[in-house]
Amino acid sequence: MSDPVATLISRWKDDPRSTYRTWFLWDQRLKNFRSIRRGISQVVREIEAGSFGVTYRGSSLETVVGSVAEQRQIFKGADHAFLWKPKLRIPDIYENAENQRAFARLLDTCNCCSTADEVIEAIRKIDARCIKGLGPAVANLLYFIHPTLVPPFNTAIVKGFNALTGGNVKLGRWDHYLTMRSGVLKLNDTHRQQLSNDLGAIAGLLFDIGSGRYPAPPRTGDDSVLAGWETDLARVREETAAARKAWAEADAGDTTHTAMQGTLRDIGRSLDFDVWIASNDRSRSYADGVLGDGCLTEMPTSASSGLESVRLIDVVWLDRASHQIVAAFEVEHSTSIFSGIVRMLDLALGTPMASSGKLFLVAPDNRRDEVAQQVRRPAFSKVSDLGIRYLPYSQVKEHGPAIRRFGAGLKPLLEISEQL
C-alpha cells in the first residue's frame, strides 16, 4: 500500500474546501505578508518610542493581529491570545513596560534576522522571561516574517500534529512549540514534493486534520486498519464533489473584485493613462482575455522606487509622458481593508507621485463605514494627510461608461468619490 500520508496530502490538495485551496493558494494571502510585516515594524517603533500605550484596543498591535485573524480559513480567533484579560493581568505586555520592550525586541530581532538559529534564540530569550500569557500564539506573527522557518500555531494545528505523529505537544508553552516545529520541518522535508518551502502549506494540512475535516492515518502497518482509514478518506473525497458548487460561489467574490479591476483599467486607458495591474493579478481571466491586456508589463522604477508592495496595488494609473503615478486604486471587495491602506501608505510615503495624484479605496457601498473606521485607526494617523478617498462600487458602475466616453483627467473620479 502506498504511503498513507502521501495519499492524504494528495486528497487534501484536491479538496476545494481544504485550507490548501481556500487559504494557501488564495492570492490575498500573499498580499497580507507585506502589510503585516510593515504593521509589526510599526508596533516595534511605537514601543521603542514609548508611545504604544497600555491598551490593546485601538493599538497598532490590534491592527496587525486583526489582519492575521481576518484570514479566517486558518487564523480565526488568532486575536484571542492578545486580548487584555484584566482579571488575570494577561498577556502582561500592556501594563509592564519591560515586558513590552522584550516583546518588541523579539519582533524586531526576527524582523531583522535571516536564519533559523537567530529566530530560535530570540524565542528562547522571550521564553526565559516567563511573561505571563505571552506564549506560542506569537508564532502567528513570526510566520508572516519567516514563512519558511516558523510554522503557524493554534489549537487545531497542535491537535493535527499530535494526531499525525503521536506527539504530545501542549498549548501555551514555547518549548513544546519548538518541539512541534522540529517535527513539522521533518514532515515537510519528507513530503516536500507535495507541499512547499512555505510552512503555511503543512500547517494547513495539520489544521484540517486537527479540526476534524480529515482523519489522520493510523500509525500501524496493519493492512485492515489502513484499509478502514482509506474508506474514511474516500468518504471525505466524495463530499468534495458536492462542495464544488459552494466553491464556485465562494469564488464569486474574486470575480467581482476582478471585474472592478477591469472596469478601472478600462476607464484609465480611455482617459489616456498608462495602467498597471497588480503583478499577481495580471493573468486573471477578464472579458475575452486577461486583466493585464493592454497594460504596462513593467512598473517604472522611478514610480515604484522598487517597492514590492506598490507592484501589488490593484490598479495604478500613470502619466504616459512623465511616468508619474496619478491615481492608485485598492479594491476591497471582502478582504481586509488594512492591507490596502498599508500599500497606499507605502506608495504615498515611499515613492514620487504627481502633485495632483490621488489614492482611492474602492469598496461595495455597504462597506463605507468599515472603510472610514479603518482609516481613522490611530495606527493610520498619517492617512488623513494623504487625502485617501472612498469610491463606492455603485458610482463606478453607474458613471464608468460616461467617464470613458466624455471624461478627462481625474475630475470625474473626484466627483463620484468622497474624502475620508
Stretch 44-64: mean pLDDT, rounded? 90
In the prediction, which pLDDT does 63 show?
A: 87
Does the pTM of the predicted model rise above 0.85? no
Span 169-208, pLDDT tens digits:
888 889 999 999 999 999 999 999 999 999 999 999 999 9
pLDDT one-digit tens code per residue, 145-154:
999 999 999 9
Question: 217-221, 280-284, 303-307, 326-330: which has the minimum mean pLDDT?
Answer: 303-307
Q: Please tell me which residue, 73 or 303, carries the higher pLDDT value.
A: 73
Average pLDDT of the chain to the nearest whole number: 85
Indicate if the pLDDT at residue 408 is higher than 60: yes
- Whole-number pLDDT of residue 188: 96
- Reported for 402-406, long-range contacts at CB under 8 A and 24+ positions apart, including other chains, are 403/267, 403/270, 403/271, 404/266, 404/267, 404/270, 404/271, 405/270
Say yes or no to pLDDT of 245 above 60: no
